[in-house]
Amino acid sequence: MNWQTYLDSVGAQRQDADVTGFGQPAAELQALEQSAALVPLTNFGLIRLAGPETIPFLHGQVSSDVKKLPALGAQFSTYSTPKGRMLASLLLVRQGDDLVLQLPTPLVPAIQKRLSMYILRSKTRAEDVSGTMAALGLAGPQAASVLATAFGFKATADYAVEQIEGTTIVRLPGGRFVLHLAIDDAPACWARLTAAGAVPAGVPAWTLSDIRAGIVWVVPGTQEEFVPQMANMELIGAVNFQKGCYPGQEIVARTQYLGKLKKRAFRVASAHAMQPGDPVYSADMNGQASGLIALSAPAGNGQWESLAVVQLGSLEHGLHLTSLEGPALEVLPLPYTVRE
C-alpha cells in the first residue's frame, strides 16, 4: 500500500495534496498541547544535494554557516535574491556529505532549478526527492517519550540528528521533531508511532506549532517580501553574519549593522480567519499597509493564530486585519526576544 493510500485508509482528509486533518480537529489540537500530535508533512517537499562538494556549494548559496554543521546535524537557513529578499526559508539536514532541504512544496521546483543553475562545475547534484521520501512531524509535550518508545531516540540537544533503521530524526527547539524516511517505509513508521501513543493530526496542527515556535516559512504569496531579519530568521540561527559571500549577503549585513530594520515578525491572534498575504493595517501608516500575514493556522475555539511581519512602530498603535476598520489583532508572546 502506497503512502497516500495508507493515509486515506487511516482517515486522512485532504484539500488538494495536503492532509488537513483526521476528522477530529479538537482532539488534534489537544494532542499538540497535551500529548503528541503526529502530522504527515504533505505541505513540505524535499530536495537532496548529493556529492563531495555539496557542503561548500550550499555554504555559498544560503545565509547559515553550512560548514559548521556536524556530519549529522540540522539548522534553519534562508535562500535569497541578490537584493536580499527571501526566496525560501529552509530546514537543512546534513547526512554525511549530503544535505536534505525541507521547504514548502510549491517552492520546490523553482528552488531546485535555481540551485542546479548555479552548481556549474561543483561536484554536487540537486534532486527533488519529494516523490521518494516522506516527512513526518511530531510535536507536543509527550513527543520525545513517543520517539523513545518507538525508536529509542533520546537526543535532548536542539538540532540533534540521528539515523535509526533508515529514518532520519531531527530534534527541533520546543520538543518538536521532524522525521525523513523512504516513502515506502512511511506507513510502517506511522503505525509504529501511533502504537507508541502519537495522535494523528493534520498539517494545520503542525503549522500552528511553527507559528508558536516563531518559524516563518516563505510561501508563494510572500516570496521576495522579506529580508531574513524581518522574518526573525537570525533569531532562530538561520543567518550567520561572519560567514563569506552568498546571494543577498551585502544587504543582509547592512540591515543588521546599520540599524535599518523597520519590520519584524510578531505572533498575533484573531477570531477571524487569516491567510498568508493578507494585509495588516495600523493607524500610524496613513492608510498604507503596515505589513502582512506570513503564516496562519486555526487555533481552536474559533480562534486563529498567525505570524505577521509589520512595522515596528505600528505595535503601539494597534494592528488590524485587512483594513483600519478590520478586526483587531492581539499580539502574543514568542519563544525568543524580538529586538528593535
Domain boundaries, the chain: 1-213, 220-332
Write phi, then psi, for 265 (nearest 5 degrees).
-95, 135
Confidence category of residue 255, pLDDT binned at 50, 70, 90: confident
| CA angle, 105 then 109 then 114, to 5° | 125
State mean pLDDT over 77-104.
Answer: 96
Q: Give the pLDDT confidence score for residue 257 in this predicted structure.
A: 79
Q: Is the pTM of this model over 0.75?
A: yes
What pLDDT digit, counting tens, does each position of 204-245 carry?
A: 999 999 999 999 999 999 999 999 999 999 999 999 999 989
Check if the beta carbon of residue 103 is closer than 8 Å to that of residue 144.
no
Is the pLDDT at 294 greater than 90? The verdict is yes
Confidence category of residue 1, pLDDT binned at 50, 70, 90: confident
Q: Give the pLDDT confidence score for residue 3 in this predicted structure.
A: 95
Is the pLDDT at 339 greater than 80? The verdict is no
State mean pLDDT over 190-214.
Answer: 98
Is the pLDDT at 94 greater than 70? The verdict is yes
Which percentage of the chain shows pLDDT scores above 90? 93
Q: For the domain made up of 1-213, give the CATH fold.
A: Gyrase A; domain 2 (3.30.1360)
Confidence category of residue 184, pLDDT binned at 50, 70, 90: very high
Q: Give the pLDDT confidence score for residue 258 in this predicted structure.
A: 77
State mean pLDDT over 247-259.
Answer: 87
d(CA 249, CA 83): 9
Q: Give the pLDDT confidence score for residue 293 in this predicted structure.
A: 98
Q: Give the pLDDT confidence score for residue 216 in this predicted structure.
A: 98
Radius of gyration of the chain (CA): 20
Q: Give the pLDDT confidence score for residue 215 in this predicted structure.
A: 98
Buried b (16+ CB within 10 A) or exposed e, 187-209: bebbebbbebbbbbbbbbbbbbb
Q: Give the pLDDT confidence score for residue 337 in this predicted structure.
A: 93
C-alpha cell at 77: 537557513
Confidence category of residue 256, pLDDT binned at 50, 70, 90: confident
How far, rounded to the nearest angstrom, does the alpha carbon of residue 31 sit from its chain's CA centroid?
A: 20
State mean pLDDT over 257-275.
Answer: 92
Compute the mean pLDDT over every residue in the chain, rounded to the nearest whole number. Answer: 96
Asked if domains 1-213 and 220-332 share a fold, the reply is: no
Check if the beta carbon of residue 234 is closer than 8 Å to that of residue 242.
no
| Interaxial angle between packed helices 143-151 and 186-195, expressed in degrees from 0 to 180 and rounded to the nearest 10 | 120
Q: Give the pLDDT confidence score for residue 305 in this predicted structure.
A: 98
Confidence category of residue 249, pLDDT binned at 50, 70, 90: very high
Q: Give the pLDDT confidence score for residue 340 in this predicted structure.
A: 62
Q: How many residues in the chain?
A: 340
State mean pLDDT over 126-145.
Answer: 98
Maximum CA extent, the chain: 58
- The domain 220-332 is classified under which CATH number: 2.30.30.30, 2.40.30.160, 1.10.287.610, 2.60.40.10? 2.40.30.160
